[in-house]
Structure 1
Amino acid sequence: MDSGRNVNAYGTDGRIHQLEYAMKAASLGTTTIGVKVDTGVVVVSEKKIVTGLQIPESVKKHHLVYEHCGFAFSGLSGDARTIISKARDNAINHKFIYNEKIPVEGVAQFLSSIALNFSSDNSANKIFSRPFGISILVPGYDAEPRLFSLDASGSYRDYKAKAIGSAAEAVTTELENTYNKEKSIEETICSTLLLLKSVMKDPINKYNCEVMVCRKEGVELLDTERIEEYLNK
């Protein structure tokens, strides 16, 4: 079988091409930026509104996994819906079994495990027959703020700040030069929205972006009116 089509085989160049195709698909998605500061985590994402007839609220880049942990993505939204459902079920099961909230890193570990199941022969263990086509940010708050990033390879890492999507490279360069963990949540929201604005092709407004904030008190998904207030500051 052609190694470029086989999800279980390395090519002659030592690469799994289907995995690389999936990571490429994720990199073509709209930009998502996560920034961790001393008091929490801010995540800002661009939403692609393809027509004025589309209801903006029908596009969601940010989701709750549990009250202390969120999920944001870039890439194929159909894949994201399935994966977030699995993550929520796992978080609920963890609470039921251990009588505690699942650690934020535990969510990242679970997502990593299902990312690698595409090659499993057991259909019960896999949700896709191919690598999933999204990159993921997992922000949350345990004893302290946490921010993990995960890609289709199943590898996850802990970050101070992370960008995924089509403008990830440009955003990462800017974050490396400007990151400051002592900023307030409000300052971080404003600066991250400005950064997203600088890489968006369309003018930013309250309908084509999303903001999520993870504090000790829990995760908050800002509504459009709150987003507009920050855009006007």
Structure 2
Amino acid sequence: MGVCLAVKRITSPLMEPRSIEKIVEIDAHIGCAMSGLIADAKTLIDKARVETQNHWFTYNETMVESVTQAVSNLALQFGKEDADLGAMSPPFGVALLFGGVDEKGPQLFQMDPSWTFVQCNAQAIGSASEGAQSSLQEVYHKSMTL
């Protein structure tokens, strides 16, 4: 029982492949795949790591959905008119997939650049997501194992 995150890295021969990470560890039980502006993703990943630790220390449990909700809330604050100190000013140009295992079992959440998030059984993001999503719909079934 688990969650699998995978990426296809398309690089230029002029780029150092190790310098672009598209899958990161949030904590030992949660990972995140990203597509879009990686600099924007790094800001949100830092927030996710802090929220994961806060949730763990407060409730002694790992919760994939609460971390996703916290990142969504942070990203949504960019449009607020009041001058909250924690609010971000520019919109973020990145899509994220948060996946992990918590007390509810395997969890996967997709967050798009509008900062709405939905729980998924299987999901693809990025430039070739339409084809990948079609493949997932053809082959995925709930009884699959890793």
Q: Determine if contact 1:49/1:56 at 8 Å carries over to the other structure.
A: yes
In structure 1, the partner of 2:78 is 118
| 2:7 alignment partner in structure 1 | 45
1:140 aligns with 2:100: yes
1:168 CA drift (Å): 1.2
Count of residue pairs the alignment pairs up:
144
Cα contact 2:35–2:96 (8 A) shared by 1: yes
Q: Which has the larger radius of gyration?
A: 1
Q: Report SS of the residue matched to 1:135.
A: strand
Greater relative contact order: 1 or 2 (C-alpha under 8 angstroms, separation 6 or more)? 1
Partner in structure 2 of residue 218 of structure 1:
none
TM-score normalised by structure 1 residue count: 0.58
- Change in Cα spacing, 1:48 to 1:126, as seen in structure 2 (3 Å) is farther
Instruction: Tell me if 1:183 matches 2:144.
Output: yes
CA-CA distance at 1:47 after TM superposition = 2.0
- The one-letter code sitting in structure 2 at the alignment partner of 1:42 is C
TM-score (norm 2): 0.90
- After TM superposition, the structure 1 = structure 2 runs for residues 78-93 of structure 1, keeping only pairs within 5 Å, are 78-93=39-54
Output aligned runs, 1:58-207, within 5 Å: 58-98=19-59, 100-120=60-80, 121-127=82-88, 129-143=89-103, 144-185=105-146
Q: CA deviation at 1:172?
A: 1.4
Distance change in 2, residues 1:122/1:48 (3 Å): farther
Structure 1 distance, partners of 2:62, 2:70, is 10
User: Where does the alignment leave 5 or more consecutive residues of structure 1 unmatched?
Assistant: 1-38, 186-233
Q: Following TM superposition, by how much is the alpha carbon of 1:123 offset from its aligned partner in structure 2, in angstroms?
A: 4.4
RMSD: 1.5
**Counterpart residue identity of residue 98, structure 2:** V
